[in-house]
Amino acid sequence: MNPKGYVPALRLDDGSVLTEGPAIVQYLADRKPAAALAPHAGTIERYRLQEWLAFLNSEIHKTWGALFNPTADRGPVIEKLTPRLSYLESELKGRPTLLPSGFSVADAYLFTLLNWAGFTRVDLAPYPALVKYAERIRARPKVQEALRAEGLLQEKAA
């Protein structure tokens, strides 16, 4: 679906395709402004959102994504990922979300990336603030709903 040959891509109602994670999540947030998933356009907080989305996309997503290739040399990837995770760890110590105003599409994006740890054998134990952050985000009802829909949430046996 993505003419660039990779994910993400979103087919819009008019049949066109929107690509690149930061553009897609901002589009989705802007479609439902009452959900307050992105600060208002033109505010410094909106630019902080864009700053986070750019960092997550270029530094975390692109780096971590390489670990899905079973033939990748993990050493250099982990070496590049480690200081970026350390930066996130320091930023999230003592605060619940990336933006001061609360949960945003940047948090949804970061949660998705952190959720890759189990699939790619990345140990998050050295990053307790990131682990707690992921647990908080995972506990959100809409996140639970999305994980269930994607088959990523194991239901507890009765």
In DSSP notation, 35-79 reads G--SPPTTSHHHHHHHHHHHHIIIIIIHHHHGGGSTTS-HHHHHH
| Domains of the chain: residue spans and CATH | 40-149 (1.20.1050.10)
pLDDT confidence of 2, banded at 50, 70, 90? Answer: confident
How does pLDDT run across 49-84, given as a tens digit for each residue?
999 999 999 999 999 999 999 999 999 999 999 999
How does pLDDT run across 97-127, given as a tens digit for each residue?
999 999 999 999 999 999 999 999 999 999 9
